[in-house]
Amino acid sequence: MKQKELEIKIEKFSEKGLGIAFDENKNKILIPKVVINDVLLASLNKKSKGVIKGKLLNLISPSSYRSNPVCEHFDICGGCTWQNLQYDEQLNQKQNLIVKYFNEDLKNNSVNLFSIKPCENIFEYRNKMEFSFAENRKKTKYLGLIMHGGRFVIDIHRCYLSSLWFSRVLKNVKLWWEKYNFTAFNFLDGLGLLRTLTIKEGKNTNEKMIVLTISNETNLTKEQKDDFISFVKEALSEDKSFDENEVSIFLNIQIAEKKKKTTFVLEKLFGKDFIKEDLHINALNENINLSFQIGPFSFFQPNTLQAQNLYSIAIDHLKDENLKDKVIFDLYSGTGTIGMILSNFSKKVIAVEINEDAANQAKQNAKLNNINNFEMINADVSCFLNNFVSQDLQRPHLIVVDPPRAGLSADSIENILKISPKVILYISCNPITQKENIDMLTKNGYQLKILHPIDQFPHTYHIENIAILKKLDFE
């Protein structure tokens, strides 16, 4: 059955960066990879769950906000949504979303909304990429990223979100794969060997890490491992500044069995156990330099240079707080990055993180930086807060939260309210759940004072947002 075709104009973006248009019956139409004010011919699917999904057939009148994508994969790759949108307009759209989400709060003159912080490098900003192996029924091999709106993997020749050497390694690993003709792992039947290729780099140190993840279907022979190392090093040697002492290569065996916890067996093939990344923070008129060890499983902010701005700006917004003799809680701490930075300005930081690997990494990084007033507790945040409240201990002056996209649990919010810190610094990668949590806090004695969005991920719809709340009747 032939799909309906319709000439439409894109009026706005959805919260996930899709173009929104309306038909003659005011039905919402969602179109990927288009720009506000584009006039286009689209093919339309049947209405489902209140919306009609469509596809661009022909661009009749391009928007003045359009930009030519530099990436050859843009039309089908799921990595970028807005590479065809001028960067100034990307920032404008993200700023407008914060205004939309916090519209009621902004009617209160006590809330100070700052302009979004642009990203200086809008290409090659990511310090980590994960690429997938896949095969079709004809055994054609693919190594790259997931197709937009689907589950299929597309070959990536050059990804402009990461440094050029990432793509060189990708190309050579594909050649290594073709040499040995391994099977790619298939999530539908659980069969196949090659799963993912993870690449990391220290943007401020030039150190590099490559992690090949395979299933436990079989292991690689010594010859195959040595060959993998050679193919990777050959790709890296195309850069004149290549130094093999800055490279770490790992093999990661993922053991996933039904009704059992997934486990990993890690083998270092080449180089050091970790790569190092440095952060340079300029906050409260101080320059702070910290070093972090990053392992194969470590989480680190994916945009190093913008993370420096994020943390510097967040701490600068605390300039009216005298933190020198105060205790700070850093909840959902990850590897403790912002907590370690804040330890330079406070009496003590107590960080809480449920992931054991991340918590252990934080402890090692605190030692690496000779930080003695930072304590990492490996625990669930809700359990930690419950125990803290029940013991009726001295409350912290500041609580920092940087939760997952789902936001804070109701239990965590309830206990934060019981602890009643003077200040809450809430950093979020999901302003929607952040807004929901802030509503609960402002209904219970807190006042939103500052909102400051940060663009961590150019060419995507994602926004990082800083919010600062203060206790109204703090004693």
d(CA 129, CA 143): 12
Q: Measured between alpha carbons, how far is 181 from 473 in angstroms, rounded to an integer?
A: 67
Q: Determine the Cα–Cα distance for residues 212 and 199; give it in Å rounded to an integer.
A: 9
pLDDT of 389 above 90:
no
d(CA 108, CA 397): 25
pLDDT grade, residue 244 (50/70/90)?
very high
For residue 173 the two structure tokens come to 């690993």
Apex CA 135: angle with CA 188 and CA 235, to 5°? 125
Please check the confidence at residue 276 and state whether its pLDDT lies above 60: yes
| pLDDT computed for residue 439 by the predictor | 96
pLDDT per position as a tens digit, 127-161: 999 999 999 989 999 999 999 877 899 999 999 99
Give the mean model confidence (pLDDT) for residues 174-178: 97
Sign of torsion over alpha carbons 58, 61, 65, 69: positive
How does pLDDT run across 86-117, given as a tens digit for each residue? 999 999 999 999 999 999 999 988 899 999 99
Return phi, psi of residue 311, to 5°: -70, -40
For residue 157, what pLDDT is reported? 95
Asked if pLDDT for residue 287 goes beyond 90, the answer is: yes
Question: Can you tell me the distance from the alpha carbon of 65 to that of 30, in angstroms, rounded to the nearest whole number?
Answer: 18
Instruction: State whether residue 307 is helix, strand or coil.
Output: helix
Over range 63-83, report the average pLDDT: 94
pLDDT exceeds cutoff 80 at 218:
yes
Return the SS3 of 178: helix
pLDDT of residue 235: 97
**Which pair of tokens denotes residue 438?**
């802030």
Span 293-312, average pLDDT: 94
Average pLDDT of span 311-317: 97
Distance of CA 345 to the CA centre of its chain: 27
Q: In this predicted model, what pLDDT tens digit does every residue of 189-206 receive, in sequence order?
A: 889 999 999 999 999 999
Among candidate residues 325, 323, 312, the one with its CA nearest the CA of residue 286? 312
> Is the pLDDT at 392 greater than 80, yes or no?
no
**Cα distance between residue 78 and residue 288, in whole Å:** 37
Of 75, 251, 235, which is closest to residue 170 (Cα–Cα)? 235
What is the share, in percent, of the chain residues with pLDDT greater than 90?
A: 84
Contact 310, 464 (CB under 8 A): yes
Residue 370, pLDDT above cutoff 90? yes
Tokens representing 314 are 């967040």
Residues 434-448, mean pLDDT to the nearest whole number? 96
CB atoms within 10 A of CB 172: 19
What's the confidence (pLDDT) of residue 357? 87
| Whole-Å CA distances, 125 to 16, 209, 335 | 21, 16, 20
Q: How many residues does the chain have?
A: 475
Give, in order, the Cα–Cα distances in Å from 76 to each of 142, 251, 289.
14, 30, 40
Q: How many CA within 13 A on the CB side of residue 350?
A: 16
Mean pLDDT of 371-397: 88
Residue 152 phi, psi dihedral angles, 5° rounding: -80, 150
Spatial separation of the C-alpha atoms in residues 381 and 426, rounded to whole Å:
15
CA-closest candidate to residue 335, choices 379, 385, 300: 300
Beta strand 398-401 with 327-331 is parallel
User: Using one digit for the tens of pLDDT, what is the confidence trace for 20-48?
Assistant: 999 999 999 999 999 999 999 999 999 98
Query: Could you please report the per-residue DSSP string of 27-88?
Result: -EEEETT--TT-EEEEEE---BTTEEEEEEEEEEE--TTB---S-TTTTTBSS-S-TTB-HH
Backbone angles phi, psi at 120, to 5 degrees: -65, -40
* Active site amino acids: 429
